[in-house]
Structure 1
Amino acid sequence: MNQDWQLARTRLAARTLPRRSDYAGLRRSWRGDLIAGVTVSVVALPLALGFGVTSGVGARAGIITAIVAGIVAGFFGGSNLQVSGPTGAMTVVLVPVVAQYGPSSVVVVSIMAGIVVVAVGLLGMGRLVNYIPWPVVEGFTFGIGAIIFLQQVPLALDTTAAAGENTAVVAVRTLAATAWPDALPALGVVLLVIATMLLITRVRRTLPASLFAIVAATIVAHVAHLDVRTIGALPAILNAPHLPSTDLETVRSLVSAALAVAALAALESLLSAQVADGMADDIPRTQPNRELVGQGLANIASGLFGGMPATGAIARTAVNLRSGAHTRVAAITHAVALAAIVLAAAPLVAQIPLSALAGVLIVTALRMIDLRTARSILRSTRSDGLVFALTAFATMAFDLITAVGLGVLAAILLALRALARASHLDRVPVHDTEVSTEDEHQLLSEHIAVYRIDGALFFADARRFLDELLEVTDVHVVILRLKNVTMLDASGANALSQLVQDLARHHVAVLVKGLRPEHRHVMASVGVLAELERRNHLFVDLDTAIEHARKHVRRAQAAIDTA
C-alpha cells in the first residue's frame, strides 16, 4: 500500500512539478526569449492597468496580478508560451462580485478559485479540454480576435469609450461619437505601428517588430508634439504577501463566485494554451494538468499579494509567440520586466502613446482572425460550420464560458443527430450468407419477419426504431439481429424492452440474435435480458433462431386450430 502511494505521488510530481527539460534549448533561444518578454511586458502594462480599473479593484491590483501571476504561472504552468495575467473575460465575472461584496472580496475569491483550479489539475481533469471540438476552439479564437480588435477602437481614436458592456456595441457607439479631426493624430500613430510591424516582419520575422514599432511611434509622437494620450504615471506596487482577514460567513457567500472564477480561469487558460500550440510549430505541447496547477498557484499567489484572479491571456500569449519566444523564460521575463518598468523606468513608459499599443494589438488580433481556417471549416460540413459560427458569435456577444458551452452543446447535439441518422433498421432482404432471397419469401409466408439494426441504438433515436417495428402486420414472430449494433444505452435497451412487451400484446413474439457481450449488462439492467432468457428467445446464430420461430408459429397455429 505504501509503495503504491509512493508510486502515485512520484507520478503526480512528475506530471505537475517544474523540471529541467522546461528550459531545453535555452542556450540558443535566450536572446529571443528575453526580447519577447520585454515586448510583452510593454503590451501587458496598459492592459493590466486597464483591467484592474475596469474590475473595480484598481490599477495597482492589476499590475500586481500581471507580475505575480506571470512569474508563478510561467514557472509552474504547463505551457512554454503562455503569458498569464488579468484578462477582459475575467473582468466580466469580477464586476458584479465587487459591486455586491466590495473590492476586498476579490482577494478572497482569487485564493479560493486558485485552490479549486489546483485541485482540478491534480485530479487530472485538464485533458477534458481535448474533448472540445476543433471548430469550437477555432470559433473561440476567431471571436477573441474580433473582440481584441474592437476593444482597441477607443484607444486607436484616442477617445473615451462609450457606455455599454458589449464590446461591439461600445465600438460602434465610440465611432459614432468620435470627433474625427481630434482623432487623426492617434490614427496616424496606429498606422505607423501597423506599417512598421508589417515591414519588419517581412524583412525578418525573428525581429521584435512590436517593440520596434512602439519605440518608433513614441519617438515620432514626442518629436512631432502629437496631441495623443500616453500611458501616464504608474502606481507604486508590491507589498509583502499576507492572508486576507475574513470570516467563515464571508467565505461561504463567495463560494459561487469563486467557482465561476475557477471555471473561467481553467477554461480560458487551457484554450489559450491550445491556441498557442496551434500557432507554434516547434514548441512542446501544453501539459494541461500541469497548466491548471500552475494557474491555480498563480491565483493563490496573486491573492496573497493583494491582486486579482488571473488566467492565461491569449492576446499577450500571441504577442509572446509572434515576438520570438521559445521557452517559458519569456513569460517569466515579461513579469520581471513589468516590475522593473514600474520601479525604474516609469517616466519613460509614461510617454508611450496608448494608440501605439492599440496598433500592436490590432495586428495581433488580425493574425488571430484566421480567414483561411474559417473558410476551411465553413466549407467542410454544415454541422462544423454552424458550430464554428455559433461559438464565434457567442464569444463576441456574451462571454467565453457561454460561448464554449454553447459550441460544445451544439457539437454534441449535431453529432448525435448524425449518429442517429447513420443508424437504420432493415427488414429482409438481407443479401448476405445468413439469409438468402429464397429464405426471405419462405419466412414471410410463414409469418416470420427478420430485421437487422445497424449502428447505434440510443436515446436520440430509440423511439424511431420502436415505432417502425410496431408497424409490422401479419407476422407472428420478429427476429431482431443485433450483431451490428455498435452502441446501446439504457434508452435503447428500454426501447427493446417496450418493443417486446408491446408486440407480445399483439401476439407477436420477439427473438433476439447476436446480442454483443458488452451490451448484456445494459439489457439486464432494464429487465429485458432476463425475460428473453426465460422464454429462450436469445440466440447466437440465425439458423437456430429461425427454427425456433417456425416451432413457435406451428404451436400458435395448432392452438388456433384446436380452438
Structure 2
Amino acid sequence: MIRDLLPARADYDLRPRSVLADLVAGLTVGVVALPLALAFGVSSGVGAAAGLVTAVVAGIVAAVFGGSGLQVSGPTGAMAVVLAPVVATHGLGSVALVTVIAGVVVIAAGALRLGRIVTYIPWPVVEGFTLGIACIIFLQQVPAAVGVSATAGGNTAVAAARAVADAASGAGAATVWTLGVVAVVALVMLTLPRLSGLIPASLVAVALVTVLAEALHAPLPRIGALPDSLPLPVLPSASAGALRELGGAALAVAALAAIESLLSARVAASMSTTDSLYHPDRELVGQGLASVASGLFGGMPATGAIARTAVNVRSGARTRLAAVVHAVVILAVIALATGPVSRIPLAALAGVLMVTAFRMIPGRTVATVVRASRSTATTFVVTAVITVAFDLIEAVEIGVLVAAFFALRAVARAAGVHREPLPGHAQPGDEHVALFRLEGAMFFGASDRVLTQVAQDSIRDGVRVVVLRLSGLRMVDATGAKALGDLVHELERRGVTVLVKGVQPGHVGLLRNVGVLDELRDERHLFETLEDAVEHARSHVRRSERGQDVPQLRGLR
C-alpha cells in the first residue's frame, strides 16, 4: 500500500517529556553536524554553503518522509568521496542535475519495494566499505593539512602522496600553519571527550583554532563568504546530452545513497531502546525526496549519516522531531552567524574530517573481522582495497561477489555423499546393493563431485542395485537435478537398477520437471521408507541371481 510510504500522525509523540527529549537531542546533533556539514561540502568540491544547504533541506525532508524515526540525514563522507570526481570531471554545474536524478532513482527504488536489498550485503563487505571510506576521507584531507593545493580528480592515495612530497620539498610557513591547526583540532577532539562527553568537541576545536587564527592573523585559507539565507529553488536544466553524460554518475550516487541510508537506519534501530523498527522502503522514498529537494536548493546528494544518527540516539531522541530540530539549528546558524563561520580555516575542517575518519575505524571491529575466518578476512580486505584504489560501488559489487564465492564454496563442501551399510542383519547378495546417503545441497557447485563419486563407486564395485537416500538434501537446484537425472540414466544404461528413497515434497516438482523420475526403470522405484527400498533391492538381487524376472514392485507412485 502507498499509505505506508507516507508520513503519519504516529510518527510523533507530542507529550511534553518526549518533545523535550527531542529538542535536546536535536540541539546536540545540530551542534555536532555543523562542522561536518561544512567539511563535507568543501571536501566534495561543491563548497561549504552547499553542505549547509544539504544539512538543512535534506535533513528536514528526510526526517519527515523517511522510514526511520531516529535517522539524521545530510552530507556524508561517503557521498563526498563519490561526488568529488563528478565535480572534477563534469564541473560544479552538474551537481544539481546529478542530485535530482539520483533522488528520483532512489524514490523509484522505494516505490518498487527494494528496501530489503541491504540485507543481502554481507557484514565483512559493510566493514570493508566503511574502512575504505574512512581511508579515502583521511587521504582527501592530506593536501589541505600540509598546505598544498591538490589536483582535482585522480586517485586519492596518489594525490595525498604527491602533496606530502611537495610539502616536504618546499616546506614553508603555510605548511607549518596548516599542520599546527590540524594538530590542535585533533588534540582537542581526542582529549575533550575524555573530560566530558556532553561537550561538542569538534565545534569547540573549530572555534578555538578560528579565534587563534584571527588573533594571530594567520595566513590560512578560510571558508569564505556564505549566504545568510537559503537560496530559492531552481529546477536544473536537463538536456538529452546531459542526461546521457551524467546518467552513470547519478546511478552511482543513487546506489550509494540507498545503501548508506539503509545501513544507517538499521544501525539506529539496533541502538535504540524506544524505536527498534524502521520501514526500509519508506526510508528510500524519504531519502530520494531529500536529495531531490537538496538539488533544487543548490545542495548535494544526501544520505543517512551513521555518526550523527548515533549521536541522536545516544542523546535520547524519541521521534523524528529531533532530526527536524537538528536542521533548524543549522538554519539558525545560516541566518545569524555566517560572518564568524566564514572565517573558519579550511585546515580546521581538514582536521575535523581526519579525526572523524580515524573514529570510523574501530580497532576491535577490524580485529574481529580478521579473526573470524580466512574467507571473512579476505572479503573485508578486498572490499577495502578496491574502495580506496578504484570505485566505491564496484567495491560493494566485488565484495558481495567474493563473499558469495566463499559462501557457495562452503555450501559445496557441506554437500556430500556417504555409502552406508544396509540396515538389519546381513544377507547373501548384500554386496551387490549399494546404499548412498546424499546430504546438504545438490546445486551447480557440488553436484558433479558428489554424483561422480556415486557413479564411480557403483561401477567399480559391480553393484546391481543402487539405493539413493535423498531425505538429507536440503536444497536442489536445476543443475543438481539435471546431474541426478544423468546419474540415474548412466547407471540404468549399465544395467544397474536405481531406487530413490525420501524425496522431499518441495523437490518432487523440480525432479519431475527436469526428468529425473522419468529416468527410473519404473515409476514405482520411488520409495518413502528405507525398509521398503532395501527389501526390494535385496529381492531384486536374489531373483536376478536365479535368472527370474523381477516381480511387481511395492513402492509409492
TM normalised by structure 1 equals: 0.85
The question of whether the paired residues in 2 share the 8 Å contact of 1:52 and 1:86 is answered with no
Whole-Å Cα distance in 1 between the matches of residues 482 and 433 of structure 2?
23
Show the counterpart of 1:370.
Answer: 362
The question of whether the paired residues in 1 share the 8 Å contact of 2:51 and 2:300 is answered with yes
1:478 and 2:466 are equivalent in the alignment: yes
Q: What secondary structure, in the 3-state scheme, does the structure 2 residue paired with 1:449 have?
A: strand
Whole-Å Cα distance in 1 between the matches of residues 521 and 291 of structure 2?
58
* CA separation of 1:330 and 1:170: change in aligned 2, threshold 3 A: farther
1:372 corresponds to which letter in structure 2?
R
Mean CA deviation greater in 151-160 or 247-256:
247-256
* CA separation of 1:311 and 1:17: change in aligned 2, threshold 3 A: farther
The question of whether the paired residues in 2 share the 8 Å contact of 1:276 and 1:321 is answered with yes
- How do residues 42-441 of structure 1 correspond to structure 2 at under 5 angstroms? 42-53=35-46, 64-79=53-68, 80-85=70-75, 89=79, 92=82, 95=85, 99=89, 106-162=95-151, 165-178=154-167, 179-182=170-173, 183-234=175-226, 238-246=230-238, 256-274=248-266, 284=276, 286-314=278-306, 328-329=320-321, 331-429=323-421, 435-436=423-424, 438-439=425-426
Instruction: Note the alpha carbon deviations across 1:47-88, whole angstroms, 9 max, x for none.
Output: 2244244xxxx7765554443223212332234243323655
Instruction: Note the alpha carbon deviations across 1:81-126, whole angstroms, 9 max, x for none.
Output: 43323655466468559857x7655544433332221222233321
- How do residues 512-527 of structure 1 correspond to structure 2 at under 5 angstroms? 512-527=500-515
Which of 541, 549, 553 aligns to 2:541? It is: 553
Q: What secondary structure, in the 3-state scheme, does the structure 1 residue paired with 2:471 have?
A: coil
Whole-Å Cα distance in 1 between the matches of residues 189 and 277 of structure 2?
28
Mean CA deviation greater in 249-258 or 410-419:
249-258
Show the counterpart of 2:516.
Answer: 528
Q: What secondary structure, in the 3-state scheme, does the structure 2 residue paired with 1:482 have?
A: strand
Instruction: Note the alpha carbon deviations across 1:358-381, whole angstroms, 9 max, x for none.
Output: 222222222211111111121121
Whole-Å Cα distance in 2 between the matches of residues 510 and 135 of structure 1?
44
1:215 CA displacement:
1.3
Whole-Å Cα distance in 2 between the matches of residues 299 and 548 of structure 1?
69
1:374 corresponds to which letter in structure 2?
V
* CA separation of 1:452 and 1:402: change in aligned 2, threshold 3 A: same
1:478 CA displacement:
0.7
The question of whether the paired residues in 1 share the 8 Å contact of 2:100 and 2:291 is answered with yes
Whole-Å Cα distance in 2 between the matches of residues 427 and 404 of structure 1?
42
Q: What secondary structure, in the 3-state scheme, does the structure 1 residue paired with 2:524 have?
A: coil
The question of whether the paired residues in 1 share the 8 Å contact of 2:107 and 2:289 is answered with yes
Whole-Å Cα distance in 2 between the matches of residues 286 and 556 of structure 1?
67
* CA separation of 1:185 and 1:108: change in aligned 2, threshold 3 A: closer
Gaps of 5+ in 1: 1-7
The question of whether the paired residues in 1 share the 8 Å contact of 2:66 and 2:285 is answered with yes
1:489 CA displacement:
1.2
* CA separation of 1:175 and 1:106: change in aligned 2, threshold 3 A: closer
* CA separation of 1:228 and 1:276: change in aligned 2, threshold 3 A: farther
Q: How many residues align?
A: 541
* CA separation of 1:166 and 1:363: change in aligned 2, threshold 3 A: same
1:523 CA displacement:
0.8
The question of whether the paired residues in 2 share the 8 Å contact of 1:466 and 1:499 is answered with yes
1:69 corresponds to which letter in structure 2?
A
The question of whether the paired residues in 2 share the 8 Å contact of 1:49 and 1:62 is answered with yes
- How do residues 30-45 of structure 1 correspond to structure 2 at under 5 angstroms? 30-45=23-38
1:548 CA displacement:
2.3
RMSD of aligned Cα (Å): 3.3
Whole-Å Cα distance in 2 between the matches of residues 402 and 17 of structure 1?
40
Whole-Å Cα distance in 2 between the matches of residues 255 and 463 of structure 1?
43
Whole-Å Cα distance in 2 between the matches of residues 165 and 22 of structure 1?
50
1:131 CA displacement:
2.5
The question of whether the paired residues in 2 share the 8 Å contact of 1:81 and 1:327 is answered with no
Whole-Å Cα distance in 2 between the matches of residues 298 and 18 of structure 1?
21
Instruction: Note the alpha carbon deviations across 1:165-203, whole angstroms, 9 max, x for none.
Output: 222222121111114443222222222222222332111
Mean CA deviation greater in 495-504 or 43-52:
43-52
Whole-Å Cα distance in 2 between the matches of residues 85 and 20 of structure 1?
25
* CA separation of 1:382 and 1:29: change in aligned 2, threshold 3 A: same
Show the counterpart of 2:555.
Answer: none
* CA separation of 1:134 and 1:41: change in aligned 2, threshold 3 A: same
* CA separation of 1:328 and 1:198: change in aligned 2, threshold 3 A: farther
Q: What secondary structure, in the 3-state scheme, does the structure 2 residue paired with 1:229 have?
A: coil
Mean CA deviation greater in 307-316 or 277-286:
277-286
Whole-Å Cα distance in 1 between the matches of residues 245 and 142 of structure 2?
37
Show the counterpart of 2:451.
Answer: 466
The question of whether the paired residues in 1 share the 8 Å contact of 2:125 and 2:396 is answered with yes
Whole-Å Cα distance in 2 between the matches of residues 337 and 367 of structure 1?
25
Which of 427, 440, 445 aligns to 1:455? It is: 440
The question of whether the paired residues in 1 share the 8 Å contact of 2:442 and 2:477 is answered with yes
TM normalised by structure 2 equals: 0.86
Whole-Å Cα distance in 2 between the matches of residues 324 and 18 of structure 1?
18
1:476 CA displacement:
1.4
Q: What secondary structure, in the 3-state scheme, does the structure 1 residue paired with 2:150 have?
A: coil
2:74 corresponds to which letter in structure 1?
S
Whole-Å Cα distance in 2 between the matches of residues 39 and 76 of structure 1?
23
The question of whether the paired residues in 2 share the 8 Å contact of 1:135 and 1:388 is answered with yes
Whole-Å Cα distance in 1 between the matches of residues 213 and 304 of structure 2?
32
Whole-Å Cα distance in 2 between the matches of residues 169 and 19 of structure 1?
47
Whole-Å Cα distance in 1 between the matches of residues 80 and 184 of structure 2?
31
2:116 corresponds to which letter in structure 1?
R
1:393 CA displacement:
1.8
